């Protein structure tokens, strides 16, 4: 679809956002600036930034710099030569979590394919520092695929986050076109290997809709995730962040998202968040609160 054609694909009535900056929003923005940190909320131009920052006073920190080594067609995070490693970043993230008084912290990362360990050591240290400074706070890690290197996945798992997540992003057929240097089966194996390392670890993945996938393909992706022991799934509408990103092919309706949630729950996912504005960390704290104790989210190192 060309950009001219995309202009005719009008945003439906349910895709409406009213930005509202308030004291909470200003607090988080100021804290992020003072600590020299990055958030995926801003870097990926998340449509929920005003709701999460302003209403819920939460943010998803993005570590290992602001430059990604991959160029996925859906993502607006900068791509290029990565920055030097910041060994003090884990402490600053933990201090920010403490200042925000979070009960559940979500930490994501840029891809660092330039590093042999993919940045796993920095992510693991971030988890440990958050637990150290915030003993009542659970931690959710949204990791890269680590190029499938099991030793790097193990480093993150051994830091004992309450949720270890990696996104499938899209269906098998569209993966080569949408995701840079990524592999559908490698993403599935990430979660499968996490469960082999630690059967009690909660795993999670997310899929964007609106890139040209069919309902059948989405359901097949759900089956693939369940076959690889993924516990939680998020389903959301892709929204083109910039004109240089891939066009939206279709807007799925709220009713369709509701139907997909019913299908996901019937397939055995312990939790499914499904809706037009759902993103990987959308209402993450509430998701944790709704989970069964059998998933062992209250584990502490």
pLDDT cut 70: percent of the chain above it: 85
CA distance 189 to 205: 12
Distances (CA, A) of 129 to 41, 122, 165, 196, 291: 22, 10, 19, 25, 25
CATH class for the region spanning 19-290:
alpha beta
Query: Helix (H, G, I), strand (E, B), or coil: what is residue 140?
Result: strand
CA distance 190 to 144: 9
Residue ranges of domains in the chain: 19-290
**108-148 tens-digit pLDDT:** 999 999 999 999 999 999 999 999 999 989 999 999 999 99
**138-191 tens-digit pLDDT:** 999 999 999 999 999 999 999 999 999 999 999 999 999 999 999 999 999 999
**What pLDDT score was predicted for residue 292?**
46
**What pLDDT score was predicted for residue 218?**
98
**What pLDDT score was predicted for residue 7?**
52
Measured CA angle at 122 (ends 119, 124), to 5 deg: 105
**217-236 tens-digit pLDDT:** 999 999 999 999 999 999 99
Q: Answer yes or no: are the C-beta atoms of 171 and 213 closer than 8 Å.
A: yes
pLDDT band at residue 268 under the 50/70/90 scheme? very high
Res. 54: pLDDT tops 80 = no
Pairing between β-strand 232-237 and β-strand 271-275 as defined by DSSP bridges:
parallel
Show the tokens assigned to 46: 């998340």
Instruction: Tell me, rounded to whole angstroms, the distance of Cα 49 from its chain centroid.
Output: 14
Write down the pTM of the prediction.
0.88
Show the tokens assigned to 186: 């490698």
Mean pLDDT, rounded, of the chain: 88
CA distance 42 to 61: 10
């Amino acid at each position: 679809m060309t950009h001219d054609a995309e202009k005719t694909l009008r945003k439906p009535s349910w895709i409406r956002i009213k930005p509202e900056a308030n004291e909470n929003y200003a607090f988080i923005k100021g804290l992020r600036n003072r600590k020299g940190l990055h958030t995926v909320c801003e870097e990926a131009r998340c449509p929920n930034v005003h709701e999460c920052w302003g209403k819920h006073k939460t943010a998803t920190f993005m570590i290992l710099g602001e430059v990604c080594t991959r160029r996925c067609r859906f993502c607006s995070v900068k791509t290029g030569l990565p920055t030097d490693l910041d060994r003090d970043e884990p402490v600053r993230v933990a201090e920010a979590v403490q200042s925000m008084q979070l009960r559940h912290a979500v930490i994501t990362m840029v891809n660092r394919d330039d590093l042999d360990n993919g940045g796993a050591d920095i992510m693991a240290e971030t988890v440990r520092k958050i637990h150290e400074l915030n003993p009542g706070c659970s931690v959710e890690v949204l990791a890269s695929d680590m190029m499938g290197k099991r030793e790097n996945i193990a480093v993150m798992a051994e830091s004992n986050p309450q949720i270890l997540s990696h996104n499938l992003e899209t269906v098998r057929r569209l993966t080569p076109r949408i995701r840079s240097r990524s592999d559908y089966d490698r993403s599935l194996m990430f979660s499968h290997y996490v469960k082999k390392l630690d059967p009690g670890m909660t795993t999670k993945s997310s899929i964007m809709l609106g890139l040209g996938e069919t309902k059948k393909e989405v359901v097949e992706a759900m089956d693939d995730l369940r076959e690889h022991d993924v516990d939680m799934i998020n389903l959301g509408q892709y929204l083109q962040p910039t004109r240089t990103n891939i066009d939206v092919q279709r807007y799925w309706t709220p009713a369709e998202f509701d139907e997909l949630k019913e299908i996901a729950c019937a397939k055995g996912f312990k939790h499914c968040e499904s809706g037009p504005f759902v993103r990987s960390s959308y209402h993450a704290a509430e998701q944790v609160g709704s989970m069964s104790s059998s998933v062992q989210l209250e584990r502490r190192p």
